[in-house]
Every structure is written in C-alpha cells, then in structure tokens.
Amino acid sequence: EIYLDNCATTKVCIDAANACMKVMTEQYGNPSSLHKKGVEAENIVTAARKTAASILNCDPDCIIFTSGATESNNLAILGGISARKRDGKTIVTSSVEHASVEHAAAYLEKQGYTVKRVEPKPGGNFDEADFINAVDEDTVLLTFMMVNNELGTVLPYEKIIRALRQKFPKLLIHLDAVQGFTKFPLNVRKIDADLISFSGHKLYAPKGIGGLYVKKGVRIEPIIYGGSQERSLRSGTQAVPLIAAFDEALKLCRDEGEKFAETYRFCNDYLRKAFQKMPEVVINSPANASPHVLNISVPGVPSEIMLHFLEQHDIFVSSGSACSKGAKSVVLKAYGLPEDRVKSALRLSFSKDTAKEQLDGFLDVLEQGIRRFKAVIR
C-alpha cells in the first residue's frame, strides 16, 4: 500500500495511538470532575495545551481545543463577527480557501456582509499588496489560509499580517494554519494574528481534534453553549483521549519537524525530477510551494480515471481536496489553471514515513496508467 494523500489525513503515530488507548481505558475521568480521576484528566488537557502553546510561543490559556479545524474556523469567523457587530460590514478572504472558511464567509455574505475574495497571481502565488489593498475602514475580519491544501502554495502571511496590524490595529485577523502548522515556524510574537486554527489529523493525531489560538484580550463569542469548558468558548466535555494523542503528535512534529521537512523535500524533489522525463505530466504546484504537497496533471486523462487506476494497485492519491469529493476543484480554477489541467489534477502529499521505494512504485504505476490511457491523451 502506497499512501500519498497525507493532506487529506495522516496515519496516527504510535505514541499518539498508545496515549489515546491509555486515556480511554485507564485515565478516563472527566476533566470537570472534582475528584482525583477528574484532576488526572484535567492534567492531561493542561499538558497538551502547554505543548500546543510551545509551538506558537503563546500562553497556554490562549489555546482552545475543538473538534477540528472546521470547527476552529467556524468559531473564529462566526464567533469573531458576532462579537463585532458594529465594527464594519466587510470581510476579506482569498478565493482559494478551504470550504470551512469559504462557506462560513458565504453564510455571512447572505446575512448582508460584503465578502472580498483576493485572487492569486498567474502561477499560483499571492501578492501581499492585494490583501493589504482589499482591507479598508469597513473591514471587520481578515480570514485566510497559511498554506493552500491543494497546491501547497504558501501565502505571504507574515507580510500581510505585519502590514495590516500596523495599518488597522482593530482589524480581527484569523489564519487557517492547518496545512502549515508545525511545518513552518509560527511564532505569535512575530506573526501577530488574533486567531489561528489548526488540526490534529493532518499531523499524525486522530481525526476529531483541533485547536484555536485566541490572542490575549481578543473577544469572540462562542458558537456552542453549555458547561463553559475551554474558557466558555467551546462548551462540551473535552475529548481527553484525542487531546492526549494530539499532545504526543504535536511533540513529535515539534521535536522532529526538521527531519520530517527533509523527507517532504526529498519526496518533492525526487518526483519533480522524475516528471521532467515524463512529457505527459504537468506540474501545477509552484516551485516555492510547501514541499509536502505536489499537484500534477496528466492532461487528457480525467483525475478520477487515473486515481482509480492507481487505487487498483493500492496507491492512494487525491483528485483535489478531500472535501470536494468527485467535484472539479474550484480552487484550482481560482488559481487560473486551464480547464484540462483542472480536470486531470492529482494531488500527491507526503508523510514523515514516505520512502523512495514508494515513490518508485507510484511512478511505475503512473507510467503504466499513462501508457494505458495514452489513446485519449491529446
């Protein structure tokens, strides 16, 4: 089995799985309970909060655990807007956001907000000036991603945030850091965002756990009401087994991040070199994209056909983002990719364990697929 769909989700690392099991079967208390079993569970949550905070270089109190980045993004956007009803009616975002940002913004658009969607330049990169110029006195929220999940494009978040923080000190700034978290440094003392979303299952923790960084002094309204857990911003008994697993995965990515980055870089370079010798393959990801993602097209061969051909050989890739299942990628279209490349796009994404032999196995089957479907290639 060759799994090259790590942007969709990753295999849980062994320490995370063991931690999860231990909490489920031994340390199963409710963190809100006053007895020893509750305190034990609370300590697990506190330890994980500290680990997440060590990655962002923030106070642990700034970390709110959620069910994943979809919830974090909704809490940031809907909760942020809710607390600023009189501050303005414009939201600035990009045209290549994940559905959890785009659909939340579209919902607010229906409620009467103006949503400005900044577009990338041909080639896939963004110009920070386009974001800076899109924000004005009426803008209440800037919400955008750190690294795009389909092409791997790294947005110029540091420059955008620095410039807009100075120009509009009251602007609420939210960064969807899911695809960049622990892959690129994200020190909040340097990158002064108000809200930062991150997710566990993209970095070797289980699905169903994520977090939102909320800067000290920044007020947002909850979107879930109940027992006032997580500083009342996310009521509901914390998912302690998943939080314990998240803690292990975060520590692994924090401590071994450089080694993992080398692996992603190796895989990316190796495939780029191989594709140079395959004229049927076009590379969609810009050269400066995050190395853990490589988006390619085989124009003339629809994504699904190649995807299922690869699948027959136990090789797993994606046609776009996992959430746009079956549908043609609106994001790749927004990136200005020609129709035939959008229709035939394949996203390859690597994990800490992806090895050269697996890449060779993938290349071999891809070549077979190209030979097989060559008749339909222009």
**Interface residue list for ligand PLP (CB under 6 A):** 68-70, 73, 98, 100, 145, 149, 176, 178-179, 199, 210, 323
Closest approach of ligand PLP to the CB of residue 331, in Å: 10
Tell me the C-alpha distance between 105 and 222, whole Å. Answer: 17
Q: Which of 245, 178, 220 is nearest to 23 (CA)?
A: 245
d(CA 202, CA 294) in angstroms, rounded, equals 16
Please say which residue, 150 or 194, places its beta carbon nearer to ligand PLP: 150
Q: How big is the chain, counted in residues?
A: 378
Report the residue number, 29 or 200, with the smaller CB distance to ligand PLP: 200
Q: Which is nearer to ligand PLP, 88 or 211 (CB)?
A: 211
Closer by beta carbon to ligand PLP, 238 or else 281: 238
The answer to whether 220 touches 83, Cβ cutoff 8 Å, is yes
Of the residues 7, 20, 253, 323, only one is catalytic, namely 323
Q: Which amino acid is at 39?
A: V
**CB-CB neighbours of 238 under 10 Å:** 21
- What are 91's strand-pairing partners? 115, 141
Instruction: For residue 323, indicate whether it is catalytic.
Output: yes
Provide the minimum distance between the beta carbon of 323 and ligand PLP in the complex, in angstroms, as a whole number: 6
**In the complex, least distance from residue 160 CB atom to ligand PLP, rounded to whole angstroms:** 16
* Residue 125 vs 199, nearer CB to ligand PLP: 199
Quickly tell me which residue has 């394949």 as its tokens.
346
What is the DSSP pairing of strand 293-297 with strand 114-118? unpaired
- Report d(CA 124, CA 233) in Å as an integer: 36
Nearest residue to 32 (alpha-carbon basis) of 51, 18, 45? 45
For residues 52 and 63, the answer to whether their CB atoms sit within 8 Å is yes
Handedness of CA 87, 128, 74, 103 (dihedral sign): positive
Which residues neighbour 288 within 8 Å (Cβ) at sequence distance 6 or greater? 125, 154
Report how far residue 274's alpha carbon sits from residue 282's, in angstroms, rounded to the nearest whole number: 12
Question: Shortest Cβ distance from residue 73 to ligand PLP (Å)?
Answer: 6
Report the nearest approach of ligand PLP to the CB of residue 239 (Å).
13
Long-range contacts of 17-25 (CB under 8 A, 24+ apart): 17/206, 17/245, 18/248, 19/241, 19/244, 19/245, 19/247, 19/248, 20/206, 20/241, 20/242, 20/244, 20/245, 21/241, 22/244, 23/240, 23/241, 23/244, 24/241
Residue 77 or 306: the one with the smaller Cβ distance to ligand PLP is 77
Taking the complex as a whole, the smallest distance from the CB of residue 89 to ligand PLP amounts, in Å, to 25
- The residue at minimum Cβ distance from ligand PLP is 68
Q: Least CB distance from residue 209 to ligand PLP, whole Å?
A: 8
Of residues 14 and 323, the one with the C-beta less far from ligand PLP:
323
Active site residues: 323
